Structure 1
Amino acid sequence: MSYIINLCQQRQDADLFRHFQGSRKVLFMRNPSRSEHIIVSLPTRPRLPAAAASPSLVVRTMPGRPTRALVSFGGLVFAAAIGRGGKTAFKREGDGATPRGDLKVLGGYRSGSLRAPVISATKLGRAGARDGWCDAPDHAAYNRYVRLPFGASHETLARPDALYDVVLVLDWNVRCRRRGAGSAIFLHLARPGYEPTEGCVALKRRDLMRILPHIRRGGCVRVV
């Protein structure tokens, strides 16, 4: 979407123009010597079909491919990766399987090093080098966010790869925990070739970015 900005004060004009010019969002400038008008492009929320008012995200395994899935959302269908152990109704820590059920969105994170804008209906915290998630079944912080360094088994939310550039935390064994019933079930970015996950659901970046503006906290990811 483009906006016309009418500028008044000369100093304010220059500062504002430099801001948009630096971000490469200036599309056109009228009377550049006076900086009277500039047209800038700002990100807008991508649209889903009209029927997708508050849809669930439904995950179904591809026939004959237990670690690959099709994700339906508001009339759209995306490819996805799921756990190396396929799907299960009896999730256990370390089995590499994606749990069946209705998984509510509890919140999310984005990489602190990610500079690109992320349009999301769910508030995303910034994950840095001291942010982690405990996956030690015997620890009191099992399946909880933790601050690093942390003595028990955990994973780091600030990964060297891009898988956790954007993460939605799903309510599997979070609000009502059982020891060893699985941890860190997220919706995140997929590896090249949709390599299997450790139990999470993973989408291509472009597909996840299209969905994010429409998934609010409390929204449902249904693994069937």
Structure 2
Amino acid sequence: MSTVRAACPKPAAQMNATYADDTVIEWNDFYENGEYERIAYIGEEAMPKLLRRFFERHGAPESFASIGCGPAAAEFALAPDYPDTAFYGYDISEAVIEDNATHAAREGLSNMHFDVASLPNLGIDRRFDVVYCLATLYFVDGVDDSVNALYDLVKPGGYLIFNYPNRYTMWTFDAAFEGSRRDLFHRVVDGKNLLSYERIRHLLDANPKSYWKLMDAEALPFVGRDTPCVYLRKPEN
């Protein structure tokens, strides 16, 4: 069974992980204690390596946006080696955005920029060569609008990379998760924010393809039919 690492330090009654007003407070509470790990919550150390492989194969973008960046593990791993790429990280939590900005300044990473934003109404007025959204749609209401909002951020000729919950994710989480972790992923368990290749194709009028396959990552232990991750290239015109 593939796995998703859940950042869930609080009891279920305190951690209602939806993108509603009270969620801002809860995620801030989580990040403000400063005890979280700066890791990718899917794939951990493998995700920066896969993203680096994407840059190597498809060219380093001039601009890169991570939506729901959390502690921005992949972005911090790549930014020192790609000084000409502007990395933008957005998250619902003011606390993690402030922490990321402080860490970037301390490391002298002037090509990293952070701001508060949340799906589906991001309020971001720029466009990017690569838009990246990992381990975020599990927690979002209005998943159709969120996918459209992500695609709208992509420049013509650019890429959107994102993972999402599907029916297999729902079945896996329903069987495996209890207590606070089940509550954290309750929208997936309840089948309220599930997607599929067909649904994405309908929403964007574009053909999603497997990011795992593109990056030769299909044999990695966290990759399975319950952890789909896709990429789309936006037409030039």
Q: Which has the larger radius of gyration?
A: 1
What TM-score does the superposition give when structure 2 sets the normalisation length?
A: 0.20
What TM-score does the superposition give when structure 1 sets the normalisation length?
A: 0.21
Q: Which structure shows the higher strand fraction? A: 1
